[in-house]
Amino acid sequence: MPDDNNYLNSSHYGFDPSYGYSLAQLLAVPTPREPKDFKAFWQARYQQALLQKPQPRLKATNSQHPDWRIFTVSYSSTEDFPIHGWLLLPKTGIIKRGFVIGHGYGGRDAPDFHLPFKDAALLFPCFRGLSLSACTGISSEPYWHVLHNIDQPDRYIIGGCVEDVWLGVSALLTLLPRLSGHLGYLGISFAGGIGALALAWDKRIARGHLNVPTFGQQPLRLKLPTQGSAHSVQQYYQSHKKQTLQVLRYFDAALAAHYIDQPMHCACALFDPCVAPPGQFAIYNALPANKQLFILEAGHYGYPNQAQQEQLLLEELNHFFAPLGH
């Protein structure tokens, strides 16, 4: 991690992870042109996903925690893909709300215990091909995972991961049907972009939080120098330009954000070497109304104020999601 003396140092990247954008310019980043059948493409997938029976299965673990009962969970996603993860249930009190909580492209090796939602059921699925949901035939390396079936709109791995969220909601409501109308979603980076694509169509999720979300403003994302999975897509794009852009138009989180009418909370960074800030802000800008913005000094990068900002963000999220418990 960079030390304080290298704070927001762009020299070792070979590009500026702020891309020269001021906050005013970031708040003016537009959405690209939408494919005519964008809405129909996603609504058809969502309706098909609702037909899938998730058949959730729980298994108690031997892990001990003072506040939580810890279970491993598995459920069937689309095409009967087995999704694995964790479910946390509070040891005391009444469960008033539930959350589906995604992960970044680094995957997940444990649930998050620091979240302030003590009256909630917390579902932590691992998206297909990653962490507990790893499988033969799909690379768990972000560099290759993000390219899996990128030449086929109906088969691209990102669409499958969106369906994993929808089936996660179905699984949670199968286990705890009384939580209908009281569900939230939290996603960071990879799961932030996945969340925007999922929430646009799934109104069973009443509120959402997207943290440094990816997959926003795909045409711009393909042009801005970057690290991480976006760099992999850029390299592939160089030799498959027309085909790649034709597919990625359907997986633009900023276009999906236009269709999100639930209250939303976004944390967007001013400096980020892995998820270009203009793409993050394009998602926030596209949200039609009832939205809140938390500005991070940096994303995917350590900085002196980080712990303080993360604590302030948790306090905001605790307040933002409080209505789910009513």
The answer for 8, left when phi > 0, alpha when psi is -120 to 50, beta otherwise, is left
Q: Which of 173, 210, 180 is nearest to 194 (CA)?
A: 210
236 assigned to some structural domain: yes
pLDDT of 261 higher than 80: yes
**What is the pLDDT, as a whole number, of residue 61?**
96
Distances (CA, A) of 270 to 37, 59, 195, 244: 33, 42, 21, 28
**What is the pLDDT, as a whole number, of residue 6?**
53
Give 293's contacts (C-beta < 8 A, 6+ positions apart): 266, 267, 268, 284
8 assigned to some structural domain: no
**What is the pLDDT, as a whole number, of residue 10?**
77
175 assigned to some structural domain: yes
CATH code for position 228: 3.40.50.1820
Write out pLDDT tens, residues 140-192: 999 999 999 999 999 999 999 999 999 999 999 999 999 999 999 999 999 99
The answer for 17, left when phi > 0, alpha when psi is -120 to 50, beta otherwise, is alpha
Contact between 100 and 185 under an 8 Å Cβ cutoff? The reply is yes
7 assigned to some structural domain: no
Contact between 295 and 270 under an 8 Å Cβ cutoff? The reply is yes
Contact between 237 and 264 under an 8 Å Cβ cutoff? The reply is no
pLDDT of 3 higher than 60: no
**What is the pLDDT, as a whole number, of residue 34?**
97
Write out pLDDT tens, residues 297-326: 999 999 999 999 999 999 999 999 999 999
202 assigned to some structural domain: yes
| Whole-number percent of the chain with pLDDT over 90 | 96
pLDDT (average), residues 100-126? 97
pLDDT (average), residues 224-228? 96
Supply the pTM of this predicted model.
0.97
**What is the pLDDT, as a whole number, of residue 236?**
97
Number of structural domains in the chain: 1
Confidence of residue 207 (pLDDT cuts 50, 70, 90): very high
| CA quadruple 221, 226, 231, 237: dihedral sign | positive
Query: Secondary structure of the chain in the HEC alphabet?
Result: CCCHHHCCCCCCCCCCCCCCCCHHHHCCCCCCCCCCCHHHHHHHHHHHHHCCCCCCEEEECCCCCCCEEEEEEEEECHHHCEEEEEEEEECCCCCCEEEEECCCCCCCCCCCCCCCCCCEEEEEECCCCCHHHCECCECCCHHHHCCCCCCCCCCCHHHHHHHHHHHHHHHHHHHCHHHCCCEEEEEECHHHHHHHHHHCCCCCEEEEEEECCCCCCHHHHCCCCCCCHHHHHHHHHHHCHHHHHHHHHHHCHHHHHCCCCCCEEEEEECCCCCCCHHHHHHHHHHCCCCEEEEEECCCCCCCCCHHHHHHHHHHHHHHHCHHHHC
1 assigned to some structural domain: no
pLDDT (average), residues 76-90? 98
Confidence of residue 9 (pLDDT cuts 50, 70, 90): confident
Q: Which of 51, 213, 224, 82 is nearest to 160 (CA)?
A: 82
**What is the pLDDT, as a whole number, of residue 28?**
98
Distances (CA, A) of 300 to 68, 102, 117: 29, 16, 25
Other residues' Cβ atoms within 10 Å of the Cβ of residue 308: 9
How do strand 264-269 and strand 291-296 relate by DSSP bridges?
A: parallel
Rg of the chain over CA atoms, in angstroms? 19
315 assigned to some structural domain: yes
- Domain range for 67: 15-321
6 assigned to some structural domain: no
Give 86's contacts (C-beta < 8 A, 6+ positions apart): 70, 71, 72, 73, 110, 111, 123, 124
